[in-house]
Amino acid sequence: MKRSPLFGRLAALSDPVRARLIAALERHELTVGELHRALQLPQSTVSRHLRALAEAGWVARREEGTSNLYRFTASETDASARKLWLAVREELHGLAAVQRDAERVRGVLAGRHTTSQKFFASSAGQWDRLRVELFGDRAELFTLLGLVDPSWTIADLGCGTGQLSEALAPFAKRVIAIDESAAMLRAAKARLSSYGQVEFRQGTLEALPLESGEVNAAVLSLVLHYITEPVKLFAAVRRALAPGGRLLVFDMLPHDRADLRDRMGHVWQGFSETQLRAWSTEAGFASCRVAAIPPQSSAKGPGLFVVSLSA
């Protein structure tokens, strides 16, 4: 007769040390060393009993760097195993040893927090540099894309090689990447070939290839300074926005860098808040928020701003 897994689980729980280990792991993932400190048992004893619990399906191990974290897996086992553990836990609840274990587990977890705080206290002056070294200088900006409504259609106006469209695509229902340059669109298509929700359209922004109310949001990233008549573009985008839609403009503050005009063909040497607000009102937007962006020490170009226009 085939042996039921229930007998293996019963055998594993018959040892008081194993029951204490499960009680400690019920709410927290812990390492062998942390369980050694919390239960005040030799590490070899903890390891031996954890192996038996893992073989019986009560706990699972997860590697985290050089450490192994153990967790209780009752929620992943069958109903009979969960009922069995609940019955054992009820008996354990009033035992002084289990209560002391729980107190020491809280101390172990508090020690983790203390270690983290010691690191931050010693690294506060260099934390920005460390974070850039580990994650790059734009990692936190990508987290903000999670605020994008997943039902939105977003137009990337003057998409260039598709860098911004690539960032938006995982978070939006559809991205419409628009550029006048066929070469830029080819580069964008190559870059975004794995994103089926990105549509490419060639056309000038002055004759915007969008239907009325087609998009929920539009983005102009370092494009406005190439536009001869910004107010006309604002009006065209306002027409293409659905009710409540937004236009985000990222561009340069006023500057005296004539070399950018001569070398890169800039039409405007930045924009003032007064200009932006006037064009916003003339184009029919309901509100306009302008904010300067803190400069990065490594940046060599003019200061930047972002403006949010609401339809």
The full DSSP string for 81-128 is HHHHHHHHHHHHTT-HHHHHHHHHHHHHHHHHHHHHHHHHHHHGGGHH
Considering only residues 99 and 140, tell me which one the structure prediction assigns the higher pLDDT.
99
**What pLDDT digit, counting tens, does each position of 192-224 carry?**
999 999 999 999 998 999 999 999 999 999 999
> Pick the residue with more confidence: 296 or 158?
158
Structure tokens at 67: 């450490």
What pTM was computed for the model? 0.61
The mean pLDDT of the chain is 86
How many residues belong to the chain? 311
Q: Taking CA 175 as the corner, what is the angle to CA 170 and CA 181, rounded to the nearest 5 degrees?
A: 125
Q: Is 249 helix (H, G, I), strand (E, B) or coil?
A: strand
Segment 74-90 mean pLDDT: 76
| Percentage, residues of the chain above pLDDT 70 | 87
Q: Cα–Cα distance between 18 and 14 in angstroms, integer?
A: 8
Residues 31, 37, 43, 47, Cα dihedral to 10°: -40
CA dist., res. 276 & res. 249, Å (int): 10
Residue 300 pLDDT = 82
Q: Residue 111 carries which side chain, given as an amino acid letter?
A: G
Q: Which residue has the tokens 């927090």?
A: 113
pLDDT above 90 (res 55): no
Listed range (62-76, 121-135, 268-282) with the worst mean pLDDT:
121-135
* pLDDT of 138 above 90: no
Average pLDDT in the 109-117 region?
69
Confidence of residue 298 (pLDDT cuts 50, 70, 90): confident
Residue 1: which pLDDT band, with cuts at 50, 70 and 90? very low
Q: Using the predicted structure, report yes or no on whether residue 103 has a pLDDT greater than 50.
A: yes
Mean pLDDT of 87-96: 81
Where does the chain hold its CATH 3.40.50.150 domain(s)? Answer: 135-310
Average pLDDT over residues 234-250: 97
Mean of the pLDDT values across residues 83-111? 83
For residue 122, what pLDDT is reported? 58
- Does 122 or 82 have the greater pLDDT score? 82
Q: Is the pLDDT of residue 309 over 70?
A: yes
* Mean pLDDT comparison of 7-21, 258-272, 279-293, highest-scoring range: 279-293
Structure confidence at residue 79 (pLDDT)? 77
Q: Which of 244, 228, 249, 250 is nearest to 303 (CA)?
A: 250
Fold adopted by 5-132: Arc Repressor Mutant, subunit A (1.10.10)
Inter-residue contact 21 to 36 (CB < 8 Å): no
Quick one: pLDDT at residue 4? 60
Mean pLDDT of 256-272: 85
- CATH hierarchy code of domain 135-310: 3.40.50.150
Mean pLDDT: which of 76-90, 116-130, 155-169 is highest?
155-169
In this prediction, residue 124 has a pLDDT band, given cuts at 50, 70 and 90, of low
- The span from the CA of 54 to the CA of 33, in Å, is 17
> What confidence tier does 13 reach under pLDDT thresholds 50, 70, 90?
confident
**Range list for CATH 1.10.10.10 in the chain:** 5-132
Top-confidence residue, 154 or 117: 154
Q: Which residue has the higher pLDDT, 190 or 66?
A: 190
Window from 30-44, 153-167, 293-307 with minimum mean pLDDT: 293-307
